[in-house]
Amino acid sequence: MRLRIVAAVAVLLLCGAGRATAQAPHHLAVHAGHLLDVKSGKTLNDQTLVVEDGKIVSSGASAEAKIPNDAVRIELPNATVLPGLIDTHTHLTMDPKFGYETLALSTSRQALTGAKNARLTLLAGFTTVRNVGAKEFSDVALRDAINAGDVPGPRMLVSGPPLSITGGHCDNNMLPFEYHATSDGVADGIAAVQHKVRENIKYGADLIKVCATGGVLSLGDNPQHSQFTLEEMKAIVADAHRLGRKVAAHAHGAEGIRWAAEAGVDSVEHGSYIDDAGIAAMKEHGTYLVPTLYLGDWMIDNAGLTRLPAPLLAKAKEVIPAARKNIAHAFAAGVKVALGTDAAVYPHGLNAHEFETMVKLGLTPLQSIQAGTVNAADLLGWSGKVGTLEPGAWADIVAVDGDPLKDITTLQRMKFVMKGGEVVKNDYSK
């Protein structure tokens, strides 16, 4: 018996020693019948991507590919392969619920909702997202759980609680005075907004979200009215940028859009009432427009399902047509565009419908795809890491049937998804 125990311990020690040594690289070879180079717009045939430890190490013609002998081969001979898609405006911890029932949702419940929505988003081909607003850092918890491998989901950059003036779009305006209800991102005045930026960063925010104007899905405010002053927004941006964080500004109204660009924010979200002055300011400062367009169709069609309160529905019916007209003008004027959906206003997993809506308003299919790949990566500060299939990028790879340059709706029917060298969906293997 003693000899058996000694032998068993020796085996365990040997196994442990084996694990402690450096493991051989894990190689994959992905053969693509067609590969869309999202930068040039060229579709290349018979290409092979070689992946090592979750990153792309080579990409080129299959005949010239140097594939390691131990590589696992993935065959996609009839598919069109693209980089993993990027959504720069999500709310994974929320669902399409806009009435008073939202007051009953705890932070813990929202984090668990986020786990569900993260999986749906990943399966839809969005391997990277920017989450711009969540209650009490529930998005930080979700990001960390995904990074730890506890739950499946896209790569996340998160903002934590969005900054808002008292009574603004991102405050809690549903309860009467005696409840003294205030959202955790509320701050008024330069000193207060500086403190809030620093607090958000302390608790894990990758970026700062600020509500620069009123909104649609909030009570008691007007989407066209600016909320933070220009001086407050300049203070927010100065602190965020000094501490290495970018700033996303919810802005519908023309003045708020212009002030946000002048303050130096990195992106304007929505942009519904953008005018020529706002377009000029955004082009001067290199500000991205994240237009969130498809939600308008879904929200109006499903207002009864989501129990959208009457005042909010009235605002939606006014804002959405104006947004379509003004954003089409901004597209034509050449503002920089990054894809964002505001998923949570409609069900997660439908994100790719945004491509089609952008094309309807004037972008070419290639421009819309670039908005959801290379442009979005640039906005996130992750150029070369995501949104591309070039060597050095994370092996985030998706595939569809057909040619998305001819039919942009093919992106709504994702067949294959790989994140960081791990296959999370492969309908071609069925």
Beta-ladder partners of 213: 226
Mean pLDDT over residues 395-404, rounded?
98
Write down the pLDDT at residue 24: 57
Known catalytic residue at 419: no
pLDDT, tens digit (0-9, with 9 covering 90-100), for 148-187: 999 999 999 999 999 999 999 999 988 889 888 888 999 9
Q: For all residues of the chain together, what is the average pLDDT?
A: 92
Give 317's DSSP letter: H
Q: Where in the chain is the domain with CATH 3.20.20.140?
A: 85-351
The topology under which CATH files domain 85-351 is TIM Barrel (3.20.20)
Catalytic residue among 206, 239, 266, 342: 342
pLDDT at residue 344, as a whole number = 94
Please give the CATH architecture assigned to the domain spanning 22-84+388-429.
Roll (2.30)
Judge residue 216's burial from the number of C-beta atoms within 10 Å of its C-beta, 0-12 exposed, 13-18 middle, 19 or more buried. buried
The ranges of the chain annotated as CATH 2.30.40.10 are 22-84+388-429
116-131 pLDDT, tens per residue? 999 999 999 999 999 9
Tell me, what's the pLDDT at 418? 98
Query: If we measure between CA atoms, which residue out of 376, 344, 336 comes closest to residue 155?
Result: 376
Write down the residue that tokens 């330069």 correspond to: 190
Give pTM, 2 decimals: 0.93
pLDDT digits (tens, 9 = 90+) for 11-37: 343 444 333 334 556 999 999 999 999
pLDDT tens profile 202-258:
999 999 999 999 999 898 999 999 999 999 999 999 999 999 999 999 999 999 999
Q: How confident is the model at residue 104 (pLDDT cuts 50, 70, 90)?
A: confident
Query: According to the model, what pLDDT value does residue 173 have?
Result: 83
Q: 70 an active-site residue?
A: no
CA distance to 89, 182, 246, per residue, from 262 (Å): 21, 28, 15
Residue owning tokens 């090592």? 52
Alpha helices, DSSP H, located in 99-185: 107-123, 138-147
* Burial class of residue 426, CB neighbours in 10 A (0-12, 13-18, 19+): middle
Catalytic residue among 135, 196, 209, 425: 209
The mean per-residue pLDDT over the stretch 395-411 comes to: 98
Record the tokens describing residue 96, joined without a space.
């399409």
Note whether 250 and 215 are within 8 A (CB): yes
